[in-house]
Amino acid sequence: CAPPDVVVWPQSVGQVQELAALCYRCRVPMVPFGTGTGLEGGVNAVKGGVCFDLSRMDAITELSLEDFSVAVEPGVTRKALNSHLRGTGLWFPVGTVG
């Protein structure tokens, strides 16, 4: 296990951009973290750095029933998305990529 040096919880795209620019200027590694549902072990800060915990960015920003597409922020869970879709006839099944 290699934990990051610090964790930040940005709540908007602008905050992510500002933090990323600061890390880039200071040559500090960045490790993104969504909702912890992945199996890849993504939060493994082998060189320290800043973990961007994106779980508070959980808005569903666009939904198009006509073309079956939805735009979400990185903190949206499958359960929250399916709750939002309830009543539309659509759902987001486990294992879908795209």
**Alpha helix (H) ranges present in the chain?**
13-26, 78-85
Q: How many domains does the chain have?
A: 2
Are 62 and 49 contained in the same domain?
A: no
- Contact, 19 vs 31, CB < 8 A? no
Report yes or no on 98 lying in a domain: no
19 versus 42: the higher-pLDDT residue is: 19
Write the pLDDT tens digit of every residue in 49-74: 999 999 999 999 999 999 989 999 98
Share of residues in the chain with pLDDT > 90 (%): 58
- Contact, 40 vs 81, CB < 8 A? no
pTM across the whole model:
0.76
Are 16 and 46 contained in the same domain?
A: yes
